[in-house]
Structure 1
Amino acid sequence: MPANLPTHILFERAVEFPIELMNLIIRELKMDKWSAQVWVKWNNDAPWSDWSWLKEWNEVKWAGSTMGDWDMTLWVNVSTPEELEQFVHGKLRAKGWVADTKSTWTKEVWAA
């Protein structure tokens, strides 16, 4: 965050900020966060048209069906590699139809 912005703000009454300042604060807060993407390869027992199982996991921000080597991708909100490993091996791979997974970390560095 820029040095001239406070890190904590406590107000006793409503305060108005210029929209440019609010956008800067929001952008800075978002860019300080890492997230993970997990690609999933299914076997033949996968629920190809039933996505309701995704509701079980608060960590999943969004999911998408993909083409190519992987069948889907998950955007996962975790803070550490240990949390990601726990999610992948403790939850995702516990599904009998998950054949393989691949994961990577992403940190936003610029946004329009």
Structure 2
Amino acid sequence: MEFLRNRLTRAENHYALREPRHLVELRSQQLDELERRAETIVMNSGRLLRGRLDAAAGRLNALSPRRVLERGFAMVTSEDGRNLITSAQPELLGKRVKIDLASGSVGGIISNIIEN
């Protein structure tokens, strides 16, 4: 019984029960600090992810066929654009082709084959 009486006395004298307003204020301050830390973490994570995304976009852009065209090369496909022509073959003579350039496309007809 004495044990329970001591426990009750300790509970009655506990700071949280004597000054609940202070406890609420303390918890509110802790919550504000946690919120600030969470915002900082989210912002830093966003910057990190944005940096990674920009780096990946840069690598993809460097590999883009359009970048190659901007350096003066052309991409030749069948007239419908479905088949990429990568080598000069005799069966292409007389075929219509589409030539993609850095800015626009032109059409053409293969009139001769020049082998390297």
Range into which the TM-score falls when normalised by the shorter chain:
under 0.3
Q: Pick 1 or 2: higher relative contact order, CA cutoff 8 A, min separation 6.
A: 1
If the length of structure 2 is used for normalisation, what is the TM-score? 0.25
Higher share in helix: 2
Q: TM-score, normalised by structure 1?
A: 0.25
Higher strand share: 1
